[in-house]
């Protein structure tokens, strides 16, 4: 789920306030690397994560850092809702090929799927699915992301829940499950196969895959832990499907978001559509959301949460600078740390 904008209204000095030892020894001029290095360990000591790691890229220069045991630069991990950016990219590519239109209704592609309980697929467009303005309830509210489901099962669960208000932003994983079904209907191939052909293979994302029903992570990987400390390294990814099943690496996510934002994956018109937030009232584009940092810089990306993993990717609008960090548990318990880390990376300053 996207980070709440209210969490970003924090002073830049939080980086040092949370790390007094670093502040005492900080030079007058602090580089992004030094500022980020002051925050990253706090994801473990203050944020409750067993371990944390990040990979930042500025053009051709990459910088890796880690804190805590049993976490590595090349580890495969579950990326949760970052899957949505991949699915949105595939849908926009299909639109650019005139194989579908964003103004198409769900009913045109999947007749009868969205009917009943106040929902009518004849009134829900693909654009509304992409921007989370469809009114579809989130099936994970009922399953808590622990029950393996087929896409039709996930949709049926969502339809039994009270719908959200149409045309208003309400983040719902059901939207992207339906989009995965649309991709299959239009192409005759699963969304995972289309993402592999259109994104993963062309960009050389060798650590990225859609595991379908495979519960084990590919090697190399560390361990993943639920909030209660239990080991959830093995997980049936059908709990999330097209809304969150992706397995990937830090380097692959940096490469993907850089390529997406610098125009290698979408024509200019479609990229502009992806970054337009009017439909979601500024909260979300299509598979991406913006965050305006205290220094005025806006970064684009997504986060992903699934049992045993929390991931965040953010990049400048031109894709030149990108940061991905992750922890090997469900969430960061101190909500100030994520915005502080983004601020440290993208808003270098003199302290």
Percent of the chain with pLDDT over 90: 84
Query: Does this model's pTM top 0.85?
Result: yes
Q: How far is 139 from 158, CA to CA, in rounded Å?
A: 4
Q: How far is 306 from 78, CA to CA, in rounded Å?
A: 7
pLDDT band at residue 116, thresholds of 50, 70 and 90?
confident
Residue 322 phi/psi, 5° resolution?
-145, 145
pLDDT reported for residue 26: 47
Q: What is the tens place of the pLDDT at every residue in 277-301? A: 999 999 999 999 999 999 999 999 9
Pick the CATH number of 32-81+207-350 from 3.30.565.10, 3.40.710.10, 3.40.50.960, 2.40.420.20: 3.40.710.10
- Residues of each domain in the chain carrying CATH 3.40.710.10: 32-81+207-350
DSSP per-residue string spanning 28-94: SEE-HHHHHHHHTTHHHHTT--S-EEEEEEETTEEEEEEESSS--TT--EE-GGGHHHHHHHHHHHH
Q: Which helix (H) or strand (E) holds 107?
A: helix 106-109
Six token digits for residue 92: 């926009």
Q: On the CB side of 15, how many CA atoms lie within 13 Å of its CA?
A: 28
């Amino acid at each position: 789920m996207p980070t709440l904008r209210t969490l970003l209204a924090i002073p830049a000095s939080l980086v040092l306030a949370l790390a007094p030892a670093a502040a005492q020894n900080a030079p007058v001029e602090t580089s992004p690397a030094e500022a980020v290095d002051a925050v990253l360990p706090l994801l473990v000591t203050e944020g409750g994560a067993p371990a944390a790691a990040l990979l930042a890229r500025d053009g051709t220069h990459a910088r890796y850092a880690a804190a805590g045991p049993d976490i590595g630069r090349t580890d495969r991990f579950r990326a949760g809702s970052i899957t949505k950016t991949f699915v949105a990219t595939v849908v926009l590519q299909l639109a650019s090929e005139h194989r579908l239109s964003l103004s198409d209704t769900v009913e045109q592609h999947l007749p009868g799927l969205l009917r009943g309980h106040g929902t009518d697929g004849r009134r829900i467009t693909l654009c509304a699915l992409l921007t989370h303005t469809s009114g579809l309830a989130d099936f994970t509210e009922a399953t808590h992301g622990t029950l393996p489901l087929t896409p039709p099962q996930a949709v049926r669960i969502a339809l039994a829940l009270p719908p959200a208000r149409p045309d208003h932003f309400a983040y719902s994983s059901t939207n992207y499950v339906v989009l995965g079904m649309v991709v299959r209907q239009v192409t005759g191939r699963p969304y995972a196969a289309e993402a592999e052909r259109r994104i993963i293979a062309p960009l050389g994302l060798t650590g990225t895959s859609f595991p379908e029903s495979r519960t084990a992570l590919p090697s190399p990987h560390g361990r993943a832990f639920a909030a209660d400390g239990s080991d959830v390294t093995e997980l049936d990814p059908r709990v999330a499907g097209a809304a969150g099943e992706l397995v990937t690496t830090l380097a692959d996510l940096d490469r993907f978001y850089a390529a997406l934002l610098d125009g290698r994956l979408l024509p200019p018109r479609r990229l502009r559509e992806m970054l337009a937030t009017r439909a979601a009232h500024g909260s979300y584009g299509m598979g991406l959301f913006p965050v305006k940092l205290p220094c005025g810089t806006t970064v684009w990306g997504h986060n992903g949460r699934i049992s045993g993993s929390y991931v965040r990717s953010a990049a400048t609008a031109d894709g030149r600078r990108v940061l991905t960090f992750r922890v090997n548990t469900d969430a960061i318990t101190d909500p100030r740390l994520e915005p502080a880390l983004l601020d440290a990376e993208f808003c270098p300053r003199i302290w």
